Amino acid sequence: MDDRYDPRKIETFWQAQWAQQNLYVAHEDPARRKFYLLEMFPYPSGDGLSVGHLHNYVPSDVVGRWRRMAGFNVLHPMGWDAFGLPAENDALLKGLHPKDTVPRYAENFKRQLKLVGCAYDWTREINSSFPDYYRWTQWFFLLLMRRGLAYRAVGSQWWCEKCRTILANEQVVNGCCWRHSDTPVTKKDLEQWYFRITAYADRLLAGLDGIDWPEPIKLMQRNWIGRSEGAEIGFPVTGHQESEVRFFTTRPDTVFGVSFMVLAPEHPLVAEITTADCRSTVEEYVERARRESEIERLSALREKTGVFTGAFAYNPFTQRNIPIWIADYVLMGYGTGAIMAAPGEDQRDFEFATRYGLEIPVVTAPADGSPPEPGRAFAAHGVTVNSGFLTGMPTVAAIEAVCRFVEERGLGRRAVSYRMRDWLISRQRYWGAPIPVVYCKSGCGIVPVPDEQLPVLLPDLKHYQPSGTGRSPLANVPEFLHTRCPKCGGEAERETDTLDGFACSSWYYLRFASPRYEAGPFDPEKANYWLPVDLYIGGAEHAVMHLLYARMWTKVMYDAGLIRFEEPFPVLRNQGMIWAADGQKMSKSKGNVVTPDAMVEKYGADPLRLWELFMGPFEEPTNWNEKGVVGTARYLARVWTLLRRYIGAGCPQGEPSPQTLRRVHRTIATVSEHIERLRFNTALSALMDELNYLSGLAPEEMGRVAVESYVLMLAPMAPHIAEELWRALGHGDSVHLQSWPKYDPELAREETVTVVVQVNGKVRERFTIDAGTPEAEVRSRALQSEAVARHLAGKAPKKIIYVPDKLVSIVA
RNA sequence: GCGAGAGUGGCGGAACGGCAGACGCGCCGGACUUAGGAUCCGGUGGAGCAAUCCGUGAGGGUUCAAGUCCCUCCUCUCGCACCA
């Protein structure tokens, strides 16, 4: 054992040893309790990992190592979310090819993870852009297709000019592309593939109740799904026998207050019903709405605009004809793309009616008879007024009455509407899994590629730049494009769009159970052993994309009888974001990125790991501060010194004092509990505290138990130094194969306690007594105190509260 | 606008309704040193010589006792932003 703690020296040595010993390779073992630990599938970016990313990987590693010591059979794998726009965009920017850059970047990530001592089972490494992986991504596409969950439809969809592709709704953030926050998305009409995630809306919602996820994430999913109950009703268009305006409303009770109707500008009825004299203004408005960037159109703060179509609808409740307008505050993608406007009860309709001088009937009044707030709609529930047969009913009863009324007369029905749309999965881009279908030219239509012909290989293209025409570059590859129909053998063309990258990450957690399996996406037996994931760790930014998609796929697999669980991630935790020292996001362009490489070089991997754990609560965001690494490096040097003293004294074998033993066991209890609850910062502070205590002892007072349990507890957090110290203590095998120290509550029990005495809520005295001293004795001792007497100032105690072994509170 | 979370020393942060500030950074003093940005020892919320008083964003409340529970407000962060 060296005199001085030299992190780099021992770290490189032990990392090589571990790799040689295959220490972290997982094997199925039905006799042992499994623990599947997983971090969210990382996209290996060219910038490599920063110390911010490590705030995810290091704590996970601690959990994995700790669970292993605690007797669990741990599966902790790693792989690469390699397909998708980020990888392709990066390669385009650098004039390189993603097939070259991605493996290189992944290697770099792997190197960095090893550099900081993270223990993964690298034999299970996967890469979603490799054919042996995306073959099964394609297989899942076909599964969804077979189950009627993948379909093709024409739609006006989000388009990012920089990515030159269509985006899913979830991938549009503040009206901009999720990868380009400076690029407003526009609309483009294309025929696209969708996954029918809305068919799972209710189950995705219900499933949230049974899983242990951070409440904010569940809430975000609930809001994203956005379930609303109401009714879908149709009002006939005056003078158009066949046509009606069908609309969804959550407030059918306000039908008597409907004074006009509004269609989305894209609504198919617009062309049909617009009268000749309104045609030019309507067409102009529709055209403008299409052109306008979504960021403008989506702003709730913007003043509402619209134009009259010249047509009227018949409101069967009021028996009046009401004007039909179009306005861009009505969205084609929600409900039926049309609304009944009840301006007295809906603030948006109110604003619109005010602006265009439309009638504003009042049909709901506050239930308590108070006057409604003037100048705005009364949107709350209340009592229905001026509404024929509904008058006098409370809102809830009126809703029910209208639903029954329209159902009886065939005017409409109860309906549920979701904010969530179907998941658009076509990408007009090169770097993704080709969608495995062909279009037969002899009338077979859309034909799925048979399972045994998978994978549909992504051709190796030199020029893979997106065309911008709305077709993927694969369309320019004749040998890819032209094929035979699997059904009739006739001429056919392949689908040239690729799958959204999120498809890859929707099932990867299953692949890790049997990453080289060839008879299916996963070996059912192995998947059955390892899954579901016991602890899933990742950033909150995936609340509505990856986490929703993965849940849906899992439910599809469950329905198909492939797996026995319906939720892939029963326990989810979010690590807090680490901001740069300047409080901004770490990014290369801002020049504020701190790399693990630099920190390991300067301080060592273990000190860096400890600082990642110690800097704050795992789930809270905080700013990077390099100074802290000095502290954890110093701490480890002191641990080193402690062990050197103990070993230097010949490893005295004597029993430690009861007091020392008590401290040791209390520390075991604290560290275990805090690691389990992912409170790494306080787990480490308990170890620091313990070190401060042990450092004050002579080697022969420490005792082997204290020293060894200390090294064992350090092992998950600082694996290299712990390994070195373990060997220095004379052990032959790895510290990481040892059992976690056993906590003995008997030995941890305090014999004496400090009791505080309060007078009128202020601490005036404290004394030490034996634990479990009878109440009467403690009370009398408290009252005997000179300080207590002084503060009582002669007054008799009115009341005395006694908390055993803790406090006496005297009220005077 | 709506929803969620958070405000504690100079800093990161501790604290089952029961001694606020554990642990660490920084700082101050000392020791050892040719040297110290190494190491070790001591100190460190504010005011006061002291007893003591004041202190967890602001203001109320509940309680013997509130950082913790309740109400009102302020600030910050995040999410959703015309979803009928």
Residues A677 and A783 in one domain: no
In this complex, the answer to whether residue A584 has its CB under 7 A from any atom of chain B, a nucleic strand, is: no
What per-residue confidence (pLDDT) applies to A99? 95
> A671 pairs with which residues across the strands?
none
Question: Do A235 and A212 share a structural domain?
Answer: no
Model confidence pLDDT, tens digit, residues A697-726? 999 999 999 999 999 999 999 999 999 999
> Strand, helix or coil at A581?
coil
Q: Residue type at A111?
A: R
**Which H or E run contains A352?**
helix A347-356
ipTM for this prediction: 0.95
A339 in any annotated domain: yes
For residue range A71-91, list pLDDT tens digits in order.
Answer: 999 999 999 999 998 899 899
Same domain, A444 and A540: no
Task: Judge whether A13 lies within some domain.
Answer: no
**How many angstroms separate the CA atoms of A21 and A24, rounded?**
8
Q: Which residue, A717, A747, A777, sits at the end of a domain?
A: A747
C-alpha span between A749 and A791 (Å, rounded): 34
Task: Decide if pLDDT at A287 tops 90.
Answer: no
Tell me whether residue A29 is exposed, middle or buried, using C-beta atoms within 10 angstroms of its C-beta: 0 to 12, 13 to 18, 19 or more: exposed
Measured CA to CA, the distance from residue A223 to residue A419 in angstroms comes to: 8
In this structure, are A113 and A143 located in the same domain?
A: no
Q: Is residue A10 part of a domain?
A: no
> A12 beta carbon < 7 A from strand B?
no
Instruction: Tell me the residue range of the domain where A450 lies.
Output: 139-223+422-501
* Percent over 90 (pLDDT), chain A: 78
Using alpha carbons only, give the angle A282, A283, A289 rounded to the nearest 5 degrees.
90
Boundary-marking domain end, from A501, A527, A554:
A501
A284 in the same domain as A234: yes
Is residue A447 in some structural domain? Answer: yes
A337 touches strand B (CB under 7 A): yes
Token output for A546: 């990856």
Q: Looking at the structure, tell me whether residues A269 and A404 fall in a common domain.
A: yes
Residue at A589 is within a domain: no
> Which residue carries 């073959």 as its tokens?
A135
pLDDT in tens, A3-30: 889 999 999 999 999 989 988 999 999 9
3-class DSSP state for residue A50? coil
Nucleotide lying nearest to A626, CA to C1' measure: B25
Q: Looking at the structure, do residues A638 and A735 belong to the same domain, yes or no?
A: yes
Cβ A82 vs Cβ A128: under 8 Å: yes
Kindly state whether residues A145 and A288 are assigned to the same domain: no
Closest CA to A536 of A123, A62, A212: A212
Q: What is the mean pLDDT of chain A?
A: 92
Separation between Cα atoms, residue A623 and residue A592, nearest integer Å: 12
A277 and A390 share one domain? yes
Q: Are residues A743 and A755 in the same domain?
A: no
For residue A308, the cross-strand partners are: A325
Nucleotides of B strand lying within 7 Å of any protein CB atom: 1, 3-5, 11-16, 18-20, 22-26, 38-41, 52-53, 64-66, 77-84
Q: Is the pLDDT of residue A186 over 80?
A: no
One-letter amino acid for residue A389 of the chain: F
Residue A295 has pLDDT above 70, yes or no: no
* SS3 labels along A12-38: HHHHHHHHHHCCCCCCCCCCCCEEEEE
DSSP string, A295-333: HHHH-TTSPP-EEEEEEEEEETTTTEEEEEEEETTS-TT
Name the DSSP class of A798.
Answer: S
pLDDT at site A465:
86
Among A418, A449, A469, residue at a domain's last position: A418
Q: How far is CA A86 from CA A42, A106, A420, A650, in A?
A: 12, 14, 24, 58
CA of A770 to C1' of B65 (A): 24
Q: Tell me, yes or no, whether A66 and A118 share the same domain.
A: yes
| Domain match, A319 and A251 both | yes
Answer whether any strand B atom is within 7 A of the Cβ of A304.
Answer: yes
CATH code of residue A479? 3.40.50.620
User: Number of helices and strands (H, E) in chain A?
Assistant: 27, 34
Q: From the CA of A778, how many Å to the C1' of B29? A: 41
Q: Determine, yes or no, domain membership for A584.
A: no
- pLDDT for the residue numbered A298: 59
**pLDDT of residue A469 exceeding 90:** no
Compute the distance between CA of residue A774 and CA of residue A769 in angstroms, rounded to an integer: 10
Nucleotide nearest to A351 (CA to C1'): B82
Nearest by Cα to A633 from A613, A606, A596 = A606
Residue A800's CATH number:
3.10.20.590
Do A441 and A492 form a contact (C-beta atoms < 8 A)?
yes
User: Does residue A298 lie within 7 Å of nucleic acid chain B, judged by its CB?
Assistant: yes
**Which region, left, alpha or beta, applies to residue A730 given φ > 0 means left and ψ of -120 to 50 means alpha?**
left
DSSP secondary structure code for residue A676 in this structure: H
Question: Which residues of A in 590-619 have their CB below 7 Å from strand B's atoms?
Answer: 614-617
Taking only the tens place, the pLDDT of each residue in A586-636 is 888 888 899 999 999 999 999 999 999 999 999 999 999 999 999 999 999
Q: Do the domain assignments include residue A510?
A: no
pLDDT at A296: 59
Residues A649-666 pLDDT 10s: 999 988 899 999 999 999
Asked if residue A506 belongs to a domain, the reply is no
- Percent helix, strand and coil across chain A, each to the nearest 5: 40, 20, 40
pLDDT of residue A372: 82
Residue-wise pLDDT tens digits, A388-421: 999 999 999 999 999 999 999 999 999 999 999 9
Of A57-61, A121-125, A351-355, A753-757, where does mean pLDDT reach its minimum?
A753-757
Neighbours of A39 (CB within 10 A): 22
Instruction: List, for residues A129-171, the tens digit of each pLDDT value.
Output: 999 999 999 999 999 999 999 999 987 777 888 878 777 766 7
State the total domains in chain A: 5
| pLDDT tens column, A632-649 | 999 999 999 999 999 999
